[in-house]
Chains A and B, each alone.
Chain A
């Protein structure tokens, strides 16, 4: 089990709109949110939490570009330097017929690179056991958590009762 060494106080909501509302309220009260857990991606949550846009797609572009270069330069080197052969009267450097493989490797590198990056930066991997605040957050409950260092338990309690949380709990993770 991975340890964060954090004491959290968290509230459970039964609807994503209540959660979204609570997140906006917490933001307006300048309460620092530790994390939010939901069974599905909640529309508008990124903006409400003020999360910066994911840069994964930039990584995807870079991986793709590497794939393009590997494929194109690789075939160029093989057919003009390493072992030049004439196929069907084509020139050694037959650019049009390199395009399909160049395209495929671009997609291959981009997809694999992005996916592996995604799992690595999220700390998700087979065998990893990440701490969970409430098992029902993969079912029908929505959870908003504060670090007790940032928000005192009494402040959190009054916030949760105001914003309509069903339950409030604390946990060390």
Chain B
């Protein structure tokens, strides 16, 4: 993963002249200390919000889907918006852990662990929505093809909705394997510092890892192939989510631009959520030397690029709608921008297309404060994008007599806020039980990314040169 020559223009990825031991100390200690007051307060808030969300889910199941604001015209609304939003957020984790691994981007090591955790929690939040949306959650296993006493009768394998079931369950389980395999050596690090019951628990979690050379070799081989598998997988997941819309015959939905446009949007929103989490995590857990301004700037560059791709996609859609000469398509887009939901279109355009452009300015790209606010903006913007696509399009269908308006009820808002509570509850538990930054991987890049080896404050320049020489000889 690491090794090789480092260009002199590269800035350090690990600050503070860390030794290997210091890295273990810094990254294991958050799991060993009693939680801080800020953590406890935040955790209580998250769990309370989650509890309200669970109540709203219970209410929906008990009373029925009638408690939602969806109606006969707008059959898909808030829940599917939230589903697509969460799934999109998950994509950044896989992008960081898999695609950046294949591209040998060393800065990924500072953020990959937390980003993958985010993926897993975001997919859990997303998967809740289709499960509740079916109405009769107790027969939700009908989603899956299994030999049954009804014939056997099977689900429709030609349907994008079923493709979604397969895509999301595969995505979730493969992400979990990838994340956990990365965690195993780090759990062993924690185990070897612990005693008593804690040692037993962490030994179980680490599967008895010892760090033998052959195990590391296989571990690296496994990580690389899992990254290779996850890369097309993550692209397929949002492609298939976009097929839910693109294979329909609704003007504004059946466009061929959807798959790439959805994937770019997913990465865009996912990186924004990673920024939101990282800015808070590095501050609360005092990890500024591992998640540096360098990392934040790199991610802001990704946000700028994907935000611009999304912007181009919006404009392309508008152009193609006009150019197609098809009145229904033209109306759908005219309605999006100027119709009853003009405000959500306005929110989408402002937050997603215009606001990320401030990241052309280096100073703003490297500002933690600006990054935090931008990340929230982008998340709001991407939520509006999904709302625009789903609710706005359905509200004005072919028959003006059935035109309708949708507004969410308190139950729907409660469920959405509840998933945010669920997400943060899981994330906060994660910061207490596992190292938020991948210990082994950080040690692996120390000699090519530590500030004692590269950058202005380097004190070990010579050693580093011999290191890079010896590893290049090796290739």
Contact = CB atoms under 8 A, between A and B. Distances in A.
Contacts of B163: 100-101, 104
Interface residues of B, number: 72
B225 A38 contact: no
A126 B204 contact: yes
Given A46-B213, A108-B170, A135-B192, A54 B221 contact: yes
A134 B193 CA distance: 12
Interface stretch (A136-144, A146-154, A155-163, A164-172): A136-144
Contacts of A66: none
A14 B294 CA distance: 29
A126 B215 CA distance: 16
A137 to B, nearest CB: 5
Contacts of A7: none
B217 A129 contact: no
Interface string A120-134: 011111111111100
B3 A139 contact: no
Contact of A115 (B181, B217, B243): B181
Contact of B212 (A37, A47, A82, A104): A37
B216 interface: yes
A126 B208 CA distance: 7
B167 interface: yes
B64 interface: no
A95 to B, nearest CB: 11
Interface string B105-122: 000000000000000000
Contacts of B441: 40
B5 interface: no
Contact of B157 (A44, A101, A121): A101
A140 B221 CA distance: 23
A39 B211 contact: yes
B207 A128 contact: yes
Interface string B80-119: 0000000000000000000000000000000000000000
A124 B243 CA distance: 40
Nearest to B220: A41
Contacts of B153: 83
Output the residue of B169, B210, B213, B220 with the most chain A CB within 10 A: B213
A128 B166 contact: no
Contact of B443 (A40, A47, A87, A112): A40
Interface string B168-187: 01100110011001001100
B229 interface: yes
Contact of A54 (B3, B189, B218, B470): B218
Contact of B222 (A75, A118, A131): A118
Nearest to A116: B177
B207 A126 contact: yes
B216 A118 contact: no
Contacts of B193: 139
Interface of B: 1-3, 19-21, 24, 145, 151-154, 156-160, 162-163, 166-167, 169-170, 173-174, 177-178, 181, 184-185, 188-189, 191-193, 203-205, 207-222, 224-226, 229, 232-233, 236, 240, 243, 439-441, 443-444, 467, 470-471, 474
Given A39-B211, A39-B443, A139-B24, 10 more contacts: A35-B212, A39-B439, A40-B444, A83-B154, A103-B232, A104-B163, A111-B178, A124-B207, A126-B205, A138-B189
21 contacts: A43-B444, A45-B217, A46-B217, A47-B474, A60-B229, A75-B157, A83-B152, A100-B163, A103-B232, A104-B170, A104-B236, A107-B232, A112-B177, A118-B218, A124-B215, A128-B207, A130-B209, A132-B192, A138-B191, A138-B209, A139-B192
